A and B are shown apart, each in its own frame.
Chain A
Amino acid sequence: MSVNPSWFLILSALLFSIGAFGLLIRRNVLVMFMCVELMLNAANLSFVTFSRMLGDIGGQATVFFVLVVAAAEVVVGLGLVVAIFRRRHHAVVDDLSSMKG
């Protein structure tokens, strides 16, 4: 209960940075999606920590909504990956430079 909240926030910043780094360096769309999930989880950890620091359940309610949005995002994102893969047979972002069709 009483581990210093700053440590949680620093861990959360570290996790967010790792996710951002992965998003910048990887080329596989699926792995990039996983990095976005890492960043969302880092934000969730911050929200829960602030919820505990401030004694306010609003932070936890926000995490609940972030989970729903993350689920929706993954469903649509993976649908897009499947649709792209059907047409182009690979999922490498460098080759997805055209918005046409």
Chain B
Amino acid sequence: MIAATIPDLAVFFVGAAIIVVGALGVILAKNPVHAALSLVMTLFGIAVLFIEEQANFLAAVQIIVYAGAIVVLFLFVIMFLGVDKAEDITTEPIVGQRPIAAIVVAALMASIVALGQLGHWMVGTHASTTATTGNDVADLGRSVFTTYLFAFEATAALLVIAVVGAVVLARRVSPDELSTDEPEVAQVPEDLGATMTAGEVEQ
């Protein structure tokens, strides 16, 4: 292995710092909009590290699909539902939940790192399906349309199912379709009318 050069190390550490700061921003931000913007920061950091690892196509897809589509969808839903208010995260809903969560997660992290350091699950010859040639776009395209062709076609079906599912879920429910034994529907506040009207306008 060639020794790491200074620019490589600099890119890695800058990318790692961006990722960790963004991730902490996601879990600590009071406002969901700020959490979504921190998520964009993390996704950009991941894209930087993808480029560092010669996965240029995935870096571009990461920006376009994640930062461009998924986070915009998040922001759209946050704004649409009007939940962009600061949330009180200082109180614990369940007593002792956070210390327990911290212990569980520390144990998780320790076991992952220990597995990587001590495990012997990466020995012998690996079942290489498609060796890399240095041109990641050509390699990826070739393997997706040959080795992983069935999986690729299955993703097309999955996306169609997801779109149909989203349309069914987001469809406006007519009042007589709601079951009357649901207590929370019986006491609908005034602002539901506004939400429904917004839904109608969208249709």
Most buried by B among A9, A31, A52, A63: A31
Give Cα A61–Cα B138 distance, bound, in whole angstroms.
12
B23–A38 touching, CB < 8 Å: yes
Give Cα A63–Cα B151 distance, bound, in whole angstroms.
12
User: A28 CB to closest chain B CB, in angstroms?
Assistant: 6
A41–B77 touching, CB < 8 Å: no
Asked whether any CB of chain B lies closer than 8 Å to the CB of A54, the reply is yes
Q: Which residues of B contact A68 (CB under 8 A)?
A: 155, 158-159
Q: Which residues of B contact A41 (CB under 8 A)?
A: 42-43, 46, 66
B102–A21 touching, CB < 8 Å: yes
Give Cα A56–Cα B23 distance, bound, in whole angstroms.
29
If A31-B35, A83-B169 touch, whether A54 touches B83 (CB-CB below 8 Å) is no
Q: Which of A7, A48, A86 sits near B12, CB closer than 8 Å?
A: A7
User: A43 CB to closest chain B CB, in angstroms?
Assistant: 11
User: A9 CB to closest chain B CB, in angstroms?
Assistant: 5
B159–A15 touching, CB < 8 Å: no
A17–B36 touching, CB < 8 Å: no
Interface string of A1-41 (1 = CB under 8 A from B): 11110111111011111111110111110110111011001
Q: Which residues of A contact B9 (CB under 8 A)?
A: 3
B55–A75 touching, CB < 8 Å: no
| SS class, residues of chain A in contact with chain B | helix
Q: Which of B78, B112, B113, B162 sits near A75, CB closer than 8 Å?
A: B162
Chain A: interface residue total (CB-CB under 8 A): 75
B192–A94 touching, CB < 8 Å: no
Give Cα A82–Cα B139 distance, bound, in whole angstroms.
40
A63–B58 touching, CB < 8 Å: yes
Nearest A residue (CB) for B87: A28
Q: Which residues of A contact B203 (CB under 8 A)?
A: none
A-binding residues in B (CB < 8 A):
1-5, 8-9, 12, 16, 19-20, 23-24, 26-27, 29, 32, 35-36, 39, 42-43, 46, 49-50, 52-55, 57-58, 61-62, 65-66, 69-70, 73-74, 77-78, 80-81, 83, 87, 89, 93, 97-98, 101-102, 104-106, 108-109, 112-113, 116, 126, 128-132, 136, 139-140, 142-144, 147-148, 151-152, 155, 158-159, 161-163, 165-166, 168-170, 173, 178-179, 181-182, 184-185, 189, 191-192, 195-196, 199
> What would 9 more interface pairs be, CB under 8 Å, given A10-B116, A61-B143, A68-B159?
A1-B2, A2-B1, A19-B23, A34-B26, A67-B66, A75-B73, A81-B77, A101-B178, A101-B182
B-binding residues in A (CB < 8 A):
1-4, 6-11, 13-22, 24-28, 30-31, 33-35, 37-38, 41, 44-45, 48-49, 51-52, 54-58, 60-61, 63-65, 67-76, 78-83, 85-91, 94, 100-101
